[in-house]
A and B are shown apart, each in its own frame.
Chain A
Amino acid sequence: MRFQLVLLLVLGVALAGGFGALQMSRIGVHQGYSPDQPIAFPHKVHAGDNKIPCLYCHYAARTSRHAGIPPASVCMNCHTLLEKQTVEIEKLKEAVQQERPIQWVKIHNLPDFVYFNHSQHVQSGVACQRCHGEVEKMTKVEQFAPLTMGWCLQCHREHAEIPTGEFQRAAMSLKQKQKAVAGTDCASCHY
């Protein structure tokens, strides 16, 4: 009886500890985060139905560390010509008329001690969906990936094979080589 009690207690503590540890490891992980936006912008309509390339609006992702949310003027490239009106489009036009920048809610937040560069990944041919999920099917965008270090490294390790031999390296084309360089050094992201 006494032995069983002790066992139960140990088990209970272990379970609670395990659960606690699991919970702790989830702190700061916001997978599935899907806040309301000031304008209910449907990616599904734009990137999915109308097949607008991601980089048309998020053009900064080609050259910058930030993918960037497009300026309202980019939206207006099309919306000045389109006749369709909805409440949400009205909000956009109002913002432009009143010269009031739109305060979007940031979904993907990395801690300050991590440096992430979109352009490096876009140039290396990583598809947007790899990290952001099938945004073209999302009416309301949510965080697809956990964005934890382990999750980043999973991919980096797959692409970190740089041949060490001079000959093999020379034999690689420049494009191949650059694709291959996915650093696993701490200082690739932490500085």
Chain B
Amino acid sequence: MNNHTMESGKNKPSCKSGHSALVQIGEPPAYWKSPDELHHGPRITGEFPGGLPSISSESKTTRRDFLALMGFSLAAAGLSGCRAPVQNAIPLLVGSDQIIPGVANFYATTCQGCASSCSLLVKQRDGRPIKIEGNAESTLFGGGTCATGQATILSLYDNERLRGPLWQGEPAAWEDIDKHVVESLTAARNDSLAVVLLSRTITSPSTREIIAQWGKQFPNFHHVTYDPISYSALRAAHAKSFGQAAIPHYSFDKARVIVGLEADFLGTWLSPVEFARQYASNRKPEGTPALHIQFESGMSVTGSNADVRVPVAPSQLGAVAVALLRRIAQKAGNAGTPQGEDPIETKRLDAVADELWKHRGESLIVSGSNDVSVQIVVNALNSFLGNISKTVDLVHPSLQRTGDDAALADLVKEMNDGKVHTLVLYGVNPAYDYPSSDEFLNGLKKVSLSVSFADRRDETSSQVSAVCPDHHFLEAWGDAEPVESHFSLAQPLIAPLFETRAAQESLLRWAGEEKPSYYNYLRDYWQKNMFARQKEVQDFTAFWERSLQDGVVILPSREIAKLAAFHGNWKAAAQTILQESKQAQSAADKYELHFYESVALRDGSQANNPWLQELPDPISKVTWGNYAAVAPALATRLGISNGDVLRLNTSNGKVEIPAFIQPGQDGRTISIALGQGRTQVGKAGKNVGTNVFPLTAMRDGQRRYSATNVSIEKTGRQESLASTQTHFSMEGRPIVLEMSLEELQKGESEKGETLPTLWADRPHGEHAWGMAIDMNACTGCSACVVACQAENNVPVVGKDQIERIRIMHWIRIDRYYSGPEENPVTLHQPMLCQHCQDAPCETVCPVLATTTSSEGLNQQVYNRCIGTRYCANNCPYKVRRFNWYNYTENDAFDYNMANPVGRLVLNPDVAVRSRGVMEKCSLCVQRIQLAKNTALQGKRELADGDIQTACQQSCPTQAIVFGDLKDPESRVSKLRHSQRQYQVLEDLGTRPNVDYLKKVRKATQI
């Protein structure tokens, strides 16, 4: 039996002995960060393990040149320093009681980073949105967000957005474009030619209504919806199982047992913010945490959090579902499941089935497969377990993905047959993400008029007749209905930056309205539909204003549709799956491919966002690009090492991509992230990584995100992967601690004795700020990393600098493995400045640029820092960051800070650091100061919860708590006395103000 939980417990001195035992260097560490560390132990051979990229030796600067330049710049600085430049202050001409310069306003809106449509509260300073936060009023999503959502604010200020509309690739006036489009549409109407609107999932009911109305004027109109990451099979399976083509609304918080089949529901699948929130609330070790079993081929965020994770090849995942169904059906008294071999050990499957059966009606099985048969089998499982209407809600379905793969395939065929006259592209980029993009582009040439609402020249919009750029969602009105009867409104945070026009207004304009206003339409639509459905508020204006202010509205459900009982042909589906999985068992030198959405880039639409490109993948910690994840055993067998470029041949084409050795990867499967390899998107995202969308082929009318019969060749080339993984090795010391559920329940805890300190006590102020991070709740989703970057003006440094270990993130998430590398246990640990009371950085600073404040903050004073970097060397947590360059003015760093549009995202309350100074987490001191000031203005005391740091605010699972340690009633004080509390490296005597709560492992029989 492969019980990793128990195994890792055995060889883990760190856990058993708490802080007191250090793992000896050379002894195999219980936790390891990379396969190299597992096999060879922590390396202390050099300052930079693996070396650094070579610095050009061709520099011709001599000592004499240096001195001359130095002298000149000193003189220049001296001369210019004598007279300060004249600064102007330009007040508004007409004042507003709502806009006070320097005071932030918050407005509720809805995220459009993906179709999950999370409710947001966006911070606006001096008329520009600068920070995205989740809307705590939302019962679905809470106050959390995801990394992609956090980063959408930077996409607003993307310098490569179109400044205005284009006609045949040339800038044109809106009137001219409207004239061309209307002429062409009139011809289509008069001659009954086909007009097609191709969109991504639209969760906005009013926009769907506009499209439907708009289409009515044409005798031959279709609206085709597709999603590059398709959920089409899930809908189709529900149509076949329950007579309703819908995606159910899942409740992970009501399930005692969760089984995931390649569904990364904590990272990317369907509605990750909502699911992560539900999941965390259901996995609190102080209660009875739910059991989570994950079957998957590549290591995902979800898999890394599971109690039991089983690596399975994609072709065998269906067989796992059938094997479970066979057992459950038998228990439920339904005979006749087709027989087949168990893809994994029979005993384990028995144990999973037993757990599920034990928790009938409170279990949940989800699958990320886009195969209708697999989804029918999953539906049968949930149905036999009595989960329908309990953890699987079909009465209030999710409307977050409504794409239909077959419809797009049909459309492309029609286009190639010359049957489509007008094609309107809304939020889609098929030339990039459709598998047969050539076919699509050929078809596009035969379309008489093609219009795109894209915000930039991308792979598709550079080939169309007219580009009519839509607003960014932060500039636009809108609404959304992510889950039936759960509405979320969207309002503009800023006037459009460029000459863009809402897509809805473009459609209304082309329907003949002279001065279309989507705002008026939206308001009318809400009056007719939403207002009419509620009885609470009698006056529409009051209803509208309240809805706009709250952002979220939950209306009484539409008529409760009578839900049909499960009637899917599960036996036939199981038979199909078994046949397919048997066929897939191929020759020894053939492998399988698995394509997944990465947490940062998702489907690639935000590929030009440097924050997302630089966000380390939660599992591999690789930035700037994708890679082929190869299991360690397979890598050894084929002689592959990190960065070797592999050529992967599939029946749908081949791809060349660097390899990355990924522990936990299924032995016969290679996983590659989608969403990279954009060729036309902008400076930051262009040609980063490799596009693997062409390898996702259609089968039985659905797009498949896996491939079988793949051969691997080594090209002999090397490509570097900018990974943050081997930086900051903890050298085998007990940084991450965990305990078993039994220990917790028995009340055992291993607290180290209070160590004597050599330092005199300092004077203390009113407060003592502290933080507690629950490693049991942290899923590794990395929303906090981007939130911190946005809040604290953290610069982007690019791939080359990351290879030189110069990433600037103030908070990082360290990922540790323990146990065997074929399937390790994973742990995520957010690491930021620990705000030590006896800080090692402080004692080595020659100029007192870093000191501890009276409120316990380790403060870094930029204007005093001279850049000796002693502090960074002396920091045991390796959280200090040095500004090697002036990232705002150096041409080599052409990211958001280097252009006037991108700079609009900067937080005016936080200094932009200059070259040569050290920086690090300040515990969001600007937020602390603001909250103090707000309390002062309100003539009241600060209350617990008044201050939320940016990382804490963004966390969907509320893993981070900030507060005053002096207040015994504050949440953070109470957590300090938790049985799970410990401090990282407490034996060093640094006395951090940041506490961690141990990860709790649940022993299972699976």
Q: Could you list which residues of chain A lie within 8 angstroms of chain B, going by C-beta atoms?
A: 27-28, 30, 35, 59-60, 62-66, 68-74, 95-96, 99-106, 109, 111-115, 117, 119-120, 123-124, 162, 164, 174-175, 178, 181, 183-188, 190-191
**Are B861 and A164 interface neighbours, CB within 8 A?**
no
Query: In the docked arrangement, what's the CA distance between A28 and B932, Å?
Result: 30
Q: Is the CB of B854 within 8 A of A104?
A: no
CA distance A72 to B86 in the complex (A): 22
**Residue B925 is within 8 A (CB to CB) of chain A in the complex:** yes
Q: Are B861 and A190 in contact (CB under 8 A)?
A: yes
Q: List 25 A-B contacts (CB under 8 A).
A: A28-B84, A59-B100, A60-B100, A60-B101, A60-B103, A62-B937, A63-B100, A63-B103, A65-B909, A71-B94, A72-B91, A96-B93, A103-B90, A104-B90, A104-B91, A105-B88, A106-B86, A106-B88, A113-B863, A113-B911, A114-B863, A120-B936, A162-B765, A183-B854, A186-B851
Report if B929 contacts A (CB, 8 A): yes
Q: Are B84 and A191 in contact (CB under 8 A)?
A: no
B1 within 8 A of A: no
- Which partner residue on chain A sits nearest B938 by CB separation? A123
A39 to chain B, nearest CB (A): 12
Q: Are B862 and A190 within 8 A (Cβ)? A: yes
Q: A113-B862, A186-B859 are in contact. Are A69 and B100 (CB under 8 A)?
A: no
Cβ contacts B912-948/A at 8 Å (1 or 0 each) = 1000000000100110010011001101110000000
- Cα of A60 to Cα of B936 in the assembled complex, Å: 16
Instruction: Verify B936–A164 contact, CB threshold 8 A.
Output: no
* Residues of chain A within 8 A of B560, CB atoms compared: none
Complex CA distance for A112 and B910, rounded to whole angstroms = 9
Q: Please, how many angstroms separate the alpha-carbon atoms of A105 and B88 in the complex?
A: 4
B561 within 8 A of partner (CB): no
A101, B642: Cα distance in complex, Å: 59
Residues on the B chain within 8 Å of A112, using CB: 911-912
Given contacts A105-B88, A115-B926, A186-B859, contact A99 B93 (CB under 8 A): yes
Residues in B whose Cβ lies below 8 Å from that of A178: 936, 939
Docked pose: A174 CA to B939 CA in angstroms: 8
For the complex of A and B, list the 10 residue pairs with the smallest distance between their C-beta atoms, beginning with the closest: A71-B95, A64-B102, A185-B853, A187-B859, A66-B102, A106-B87, A65-B102, A71-B92, A106-B89, A69-B91
Q: Which of A96, A102, A190 has the most CB of B within 10 A?
A: A190
A72 to B94, CA, bound (A): 6
Q: What per-residue 1/0 map shows which CB atoms of B31-56 lie under 8 Å from chain A?
A: 00000000000000000000000000
Closest to B941 in A: A174
User: Is the pair A64, B101 in contact by a Cβ cutoff of 8 Å?
Assistant: yes
Could you say which residues of chain B place their CB within 8 Å of the CB of A96?
Answer: 93
State whether the Cβ of B747 lies closer than 8 Å to any Cβ in chain A: no
Contact flags B849-873 to A (C-beta < 8 A → 1, else 0): 0010111010101111000000000
Apart from A101-B90, A187-B857: 12 A-B pairs, beta carbons within 8 A: A28-B84, A35-B86, A60-B102, A60-B103, A64-B100, A68-B101, A164-B764, A178-B939, A185-B855, A186-B851, A187-B925, A191-B926
Question: Chain B at the A interface: mostly helix, strand, loop or mixed?
Answer: loop
Query: Measured between C-beta atoms, what is the minimum distance from B736 to chain A in Å?
Result: 29
Q: Counting CB contacts under 8 A, is B82 at the interface?
A: yes
Q: Which residues does chain B contribute within 8 Å of A73, judged by CB atoms?
A: 92-95
B287 at the interface (CB under 8 A from A): no
Is B763 in the interface zone, CB < 8 Å from A?
A: yes
Task: Please give, as numbers and ranges, the residues of chain A lying within 8 Å of B766 by CB-CB distance.
Answer: 162, 181
- Collect the chain B residues with CB atoms within 8 Å of residue A74's CB: 95
Q: How far is the CA of A104 from the CA of B864 in the complex (A)?
A: 32
State the CA gap A184–B762 with chains docked (Å).
14
- B residues bordering A, Cβ < 8 Å? 81-82, 84, 86-95, 100-103, 763-766, 851, 853-855, 857, 859, 861-864, 909-912, 922, 925-926, 929, 932-933, 936-937, 939-941
Residues from chain A with a CB closer than 8 A to the CB of B94 are 71-73
Q: How far is the CA of A28 from the CA of B863 in the complex (A)?
A: 14
**Pairwise interchain contact B933-A27, C-beta atoms closer than 8 A:** no
Are the C-beta atoms of B910 and A191 separated by less than 8 Å?
yes
Which of A101, A175, A184 has the most B CB atoms < 10 Å from its CB? A101
Q: Is the CB of A63 within 8 A of B937?
A: yes
CA distance A16 to B851 in the complex (A): 35
Complex Cα spacing A72 to B92, Å = 7
Give Cα A111 to B922, complex, Å: 20
Q: Which residues of A contact B86 (CB under 8 A)?
A: 35, 105-106
Taking A190-B859, A190-B863 as contacts, is the C-beta distance between A117 and B933 under 8 angstroms?
yes
Query: Inside 8 A of A59's CB, which chain B residues have their CB?
Result: 100
B93 touches A191 (CB 8 A): no
**CA separation between A162 and B854, bound complex, in Å?**
11
Chain A residues contacting B922 (CB-CB under 8 Å) are 187, 191
CA distance A190 to B864 in the complex (A): 10
Q: Is the CB of A109 within 8 A of B84?
A: yes
Q: How far is the CA of A16 from the CA of B863 in the complex (A)?
A: 27
What CA separation (Å) do A19 and B861 show in the bound complex?
Answer: 28
Contacting pair B853 A187 (CB below 8 A): yes
- Contact (A100, B93) CB under 8 Å given A185-B854, A191-B922: yes
Cα of A23 to Cα of B92 in the assembled complex, Å: 38
Q: Which residues of B contact A68 (CB under 8 A)?
A: 91, 100-102
A162 to chain B, nearest CB (A): 6
Residues in A with CB closer than 8 Å to B911 are 112-113, 115, 190-191
- CB pair B101 A66 closer than 8 Å: yes
Closest chain B CB from A38 CB (angstroms): 9
A178 to B933, CA, bound (A): 10
Contact residue among A70, A113, A164 (Cβ-Cβ distance under 8 Å from B91): A70
Contact of A72 among B93, B102, B103, B925 (CB under 8 A): B93
Nearest CB on B from A21, distance (A): 14
- Inter-chain contacts of A187 with B (CB < 8 A): 853, 857, 859, 861, 922, 925
A145–B100 alpha-carbon span in the complex (Å): 26
For residue B932, which residues in chain A have a CB less than 8 angstroms away from its CB?
A: 181
Closest chain B CB from A109 CB (angstroms) = 6
Determine the chain B residues whose CB is within 8 A of the CB of A175 once the complex forms.
939
- Cα distance, A75 to B90, chains bound together (Å): 14
Indicate if the CB atoms of A185 and B857 lie closer than 8 Å.
Answer: yes
Q: Nearest-CB distance from A149 to chain B (Å)?
A: 9
CA distance A113 to B864 in the complex (A): 10
Whether A123 contacts B936 in the complex (CB less than 8 A), given A102-B90, A113-B911, comes out as yes
**A115/B929 contact (C-beta < 8 A), A109-B87, A186-B861 known:** yes
